[in-house]
């Protein structure tokens, strides 16, 4: 794969992730009230409109507002810059790297948009089984998770 094609794939995935993430969050905001819950699959999945002022799983949610907000935005920007450097080093080594980096960057950017616009990230996918409950998340979080998995897989599959 040539450099332009690899970059095109990465950017297309990044833009797609941001678009789907922001569209789903906007739709949830349009049809739900904050903290409203709608069962999708009873005993397994609810759509629940919440906001997360912290990092993943609500980490740092209780810390100081302005410092936390700017700190988390700074971490996201630093991660995006780091991903540019990682892409430049790995784009030709395995075809999964451009896909993985596009997903991770798109997810980071999608959540960064929320932090800048609202001071918090919109989450709405709420999975649980009995009393075991996974913290609510969104499309951006899913893209980051899948992207990290693909990145690791690419590392194992390199020749």
pLDDT, tens digit, 9 for 90 and up, residues 34-47? 999 999 999 999 99
Is 64 within the bounds of a domain?
no
Is 71 within the bounds of a domain?
no
pTM over 0.85: yes
pLDDT, tens digit, 9 for 90 and up, residues 86-141? 999 999 899 999 999 999 999 999 999 998 898 889 999 999 998 898 999 999 99
User: Kindly report the CA angle at 133 between 17 and 24, in degrees rounded to 5?
Assistant: 25
Strand partners, 6: none
What is the total count of domains within the chain? 1
Is 69 within the bounds of a domain?
no
Is 112 within the bounds of a domain?
yes
Q: Which residues are identified as catalytic? A: 123, 141
Is 67 within the bounds of a domain?
no
Pairwise CA distance, residues 110 & 118, whole Å: 12
Is 66 within the bounds of a domain?
no
Burial of 63 (0-12, 13-18, 19+ CB in 10 A): middle
Domain extent at residue 85: 3-59+76-157
Is 70 within the bounds of a domain?
no
Pairwise CA distance, residues 121 & 55, whole Å: 9
Is 28 within the bounds of a domain?
yes
pLDDT, tens digit, 9 for 90 and up, residues 24-71? 999 999 999 999 999 999 999 999 999 987 655 455 555 555 555 666
Cα-trace Rg, the chain: 17
């Amino acid at each position: 794969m040539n450099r332009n094609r690899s970059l095109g794939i990465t950017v297309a995935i990044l833009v797609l992730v941001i678009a789907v993430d922001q569209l789903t969050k906007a739709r949830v905001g349009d049809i739900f009230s904050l903290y409203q819950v709608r069962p999708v699959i009873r005993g397994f999945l609810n759509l629940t409109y919440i906001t997360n002022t912290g990092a993943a799983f609500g980490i740092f949610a209780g810390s100081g507002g302005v410092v936390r907000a700017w700190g988390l935005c700074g971490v996201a920007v630093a991660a995006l810059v780091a991903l540019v450097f990682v892409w430049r080093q790995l784009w030709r080594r395995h075809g999964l790297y451009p896909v993985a980096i596009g997903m991770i960057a798109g997810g980071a950017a999608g959540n960064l948009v929320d932090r800048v616009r609202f001071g918090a990230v919109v989450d709405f996918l709420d999975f649980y089984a009995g009393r075991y409950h996974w913290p609510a998340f969104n499309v951006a979080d899913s893209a980051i998770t899948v992207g990290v998995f693909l990145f690791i897989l690419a590392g194992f599959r390199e020749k």
